[in-house]
């Protein structure tokens, strides 16, 4: 059976949510499970391989982030099974259905790892936010609440990552604006 069929498999349950809604929610949760497993292993990859002057603080921060994601992996998988679904949680299943791109292998320094993670936390945050509305519309306030909790943490972590990058990004943005206005007035 392919992961596709497994991700929407439903067992009989006495839970008071209609089976058609549960099928859709379980499929969405399995998509989240794959992305969360993928993201957690990518954060660990950064935790192990980061190098440079800010090694220690990033090594520690990446580990905290991985621990949070580990907790959410369990929460998401157990919500799948609470709804009567089948949790698709092996590494191969996650790799086959994750929405995230593979982690780059040629990067070395702190800010390169921070950038790579910010580029993965952002689409993950978008997926989680969209899932709040989808599960709410399907009448499952509990899953929407779970997604809301994850969403708050992920937005906070994206902030932590971007706070490392913003000074350089803002300076280069201001630099290019200054260069453009200098060009306009003919300053050389
Ligand atoms: Fe470690």
Which two structure tokens, joined as six digits, stand for 128?
């989680």
Tens digit of each residue's pLDDT (9 = 90 or more) over 30-78 = 999 999 999 999 999 999 999 999 999 999 999 999 999 999 999 999 9
Coil, helix or strand at residue 109: strand
Taking alpha carbons only, the member of 156, 142, 160 closest to residue 25 is 142
Residue 186: pLDDT band (50, 70, 90) is low
Residue 62 alpha carbon to ligand 1 centre in Å: 9
How many angstroms from the chain centroid is the CA of residue 8? 21
The confidence score (pLDDT) of residue 184 equals: 57
Residue 112 alpha carbon to ligand 1 centre in Å: 19
Residue 35 alpha carbon to ligand 1 centre in Å: 21
The confidence score (pLDDT) of residue 2 equals: 60
The confidence score (pLDDT) of residue 44 equals: 98
DSSP-based helix, strand, coil % in the chain, nearest 5: 75, 0, 20
Q: Do residues 2 and 92 make contact, with C-beta atoms less than 8 angstroms apart?
A: no
Return the bridge partners of 123, or none.
none
Residue 47 alpha carbon to ligand 1 centre in Å: 7
The per-residue pLDDT of the chain, averaged, comes to 93
Residue 71 alpha carbon to ligand 1 centre in Å: 16
Q: Do residues 120 and 39 make contact, with C-beta atoms less than 8 angstroms apart?
A: yes
Residue 142 alpha carbon to ligand 1 centre in Å: 33
The confidence score (pLDDT) of residue 92 equals: 97
Residue 63 alpha carbon to ligand 1 centre in Å: 6
Which residues, at least 6 apart from 83, have a Cβ–Cβ distance to it below 8 Å? 13, 15, 17, 22, 25, 26, 29, 140, 143
The sign of the CA dihedral 173, 175, 178, 182 is: negative
Tens digit of each residue's pLDDT (9 = 90 or more) over 105-131 = 999 999 999 999 999 999 999 999 999
Residue 182 alpha carbon to ligand 1 centre in Å: 49
Residue 93 alpha carbon to ligand 1 centre in Å: 24
The sign of the CA dihedral 59, 65, 68, 72 is: negative
Q: Do residues 162 and 116 make contact, with C-beta atoms less than 8 angstroms apart?
A: no
């Amino acid at each position: 059976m392919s992961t596709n069929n497994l991700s929407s498999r439903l067992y009989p349950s006495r839970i008071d949510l209609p089976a058609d809604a549960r099928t859709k929610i379980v499929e969405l949760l399995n998509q989240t499970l794959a992305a969360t497993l993928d993201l957690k292993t990518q954060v660990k990859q950064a935790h192990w391989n980061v190098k440079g002057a800010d090694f220690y603080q990033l090594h520690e921060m990446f580990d905290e982030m991985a621990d949070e994601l580990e907790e959410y992996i369990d929460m998401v998988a157990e919500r799948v099974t609470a709804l009567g679904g089948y949790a698709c949680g092996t590494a191969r299943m996650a790799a086959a259905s994750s929405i995230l791109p593979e982690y780059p292998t040629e990067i070395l320094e702190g800010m390169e790892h921070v950038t790579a993670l910010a580029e993965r936390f952002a689409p993950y945050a978008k997926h989680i936010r969209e899932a709040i509305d989808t599960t709410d519309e399907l009448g499952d306030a509990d899953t929407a609440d779970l997604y809301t909790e994850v969403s708050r943490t992920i937005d906070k972590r994206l902030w932590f990552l971007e706070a490392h990058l913003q000074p350089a990004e803002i300076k280069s943005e201001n630099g290019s604006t200054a260069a453009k206005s200098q060009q306009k007035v003919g300053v050389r």
